[in-house]
Amino acid sequence: MTVSTFGAVDLGASSGRVMAGSVGPGTLALAEVRRFPNRPVRVNGTLHWDILGLYGNVLDGLRACPPGLASAGIDSWAVDYGLLDERGALLGNPVHYRDSRTDGVMERVRAELGDDLLYGTSGLQFLPFNTLYQLAADDLSRARTLLLVPDLLAFWLTGAIGAERTNASTTGLLDVRDGIWSAPLLSRLGVPAGILPPIIEPGAPIGTLRPDVAAETGHPGLAVTAVGSHDTASAVAAVPASTDRFAYISCGTWSLVGVELDAPVLTAESRAANFTNEGGVDGTVRYLRNVMGLWLVQESLRAWGGPDLPSLLAEAARAPALRSLVDPDDPEFLPPGDMPTRIAAHCRRRGFAEPRTPAETLRAASRLSGREIDVVHLVGGGSRNELLCRLTADASGLPVVAGPVEATALGNVLAQARAAGAVGSLAEARALVAATQPLRRYEPSGDPAAWDAAEERLRGER
């Protein structure tokens, strides 16, 4: 039996890791070789990513991988980018999407360009940190190349320049109908089209390690392969679904809630519901909403000094259900800081915005897309949260299949394995996930009418 090993660089908004994935007939296994924090740094009032620190950890992780890797791939969060000058040098550390520089920019751009052009071109959810709003707040005078975070790291590893499509689709600059950069939109925004690299597809070869990088990591001639470089695209590729009648929740710092489609939904109703059309593996569309996810929990734990999460969840499970209603997508929750105080103030004011719960989002995704849903696949770190899984099943009225926890890294590895011929179709890759990874099923219980009533309360207090 032939088993190949692939290196997966998986960068999340709060931590990163390098994994070694083994793939062969009936085999799909991950081994973590390096984990490291991803801490933003505030300098002179601006919140940055420590991109050089991340790159150093990527090199250390590749060095720790076993010899004979078939290839390596990189995925990360979306929207953020680095700008290069004419020599290929980085002009400055990428700015964090939670930085305040885009305050009010989205509203100005929407007023100037109009939602018909913006949504009709990109099909993208209106979020203040989308790349095009960051660019509208940036100085591009010295920029010759723009690279999203995974593309920037791949450039440093190989010297090759490109823009992987699934991540490019989150910028708001890609025409979701044909998968190319939108010249009319770039012109209206005043973004030089020449700074955007050619689009490449998941599974395409990027290049091999530069000689100095190969010497430093001990992997001469190692190929770097494009994967679904937006981490959610990789996670959705690893959903262990057996039919197309499924919804997914990729749950980490953010929760991405939606369905997988063959074509975008660009209707006025979809735009009003603020659903997004992002690229997936094999030309699919991830039709979803971004929900604030476990960010509120992470920031609350940080404010409380890091208490024991399992104990807190057990206590939360015993608390009265649906007593306090919070819209996690309220903009007041976006920046880092004292989350418990903001949540308490939000509840006191009771001035709730339109609800953005996963259950409501699933129902809306099914209605807007016309896709019937039989099961919800909850993948990522949140799949270990039993309370979250049970509440999701109860609120949606649908069975929830939890797992795999490492969906993003698995999707990264599987994209490389498919490129190498070790796995066939996307359906075969998903079947391999289902056959090899631990999964747990949660059936809905109780009366769903209580959740419907809570939703009406939240709507009434908007």
Residues catalogued as catalytic: 231
**In the Cβ-directed half-sphere of 455, how many Cα atoms lie within 13 Å?**
15
CA distance 410 to 58: 17
Q: Give the pair of three-digit tokens for residue 123.
A: 């099909």
Query: Per DSSP, which regions of 228-340 are E strands?
Result: 246-251, 255-261, 276-279, 285-291
368 Cβ neighbours under 8 A, 6+ residues apart: 265, 267, 269, 270, 273, 275, 287
Look at residues 237, 276, 143 and name the one whose alpha carbon lies nearest to residue 197: 143
The radius of gyration computed from the CA coordinates of the chain, to the nearest angstrom, equals: 21
The residues near 446 (Cβ < 8 Å, ≥ 6 apart) are 394
Tell me, rounded to whole angstroms, the distance of Cα 24 from its chain centroid: 27
Q: What is the full DSSP assignment across 276-295?
A: EEEE-GGG-EEEEEEE-TTH
Burial of 60 from C-beta contacts in 10 A (0-12 / 13-18 / 19+):
middle
Helix or strand holding residue 272 (H, E): helix 268-272
Mind giving me the DSSP string for 336-367?
A: SS-HHHHHHHHHHHT---S---HHHHHHHHHH
> DSSP alpha helices (H): ranges in 20-80?
51-64
Three-class DSSP category at 100: helix
Q: What are phi and psi of 198, to 5 degrees?
A: -65, 145
Strand partners, 161: none
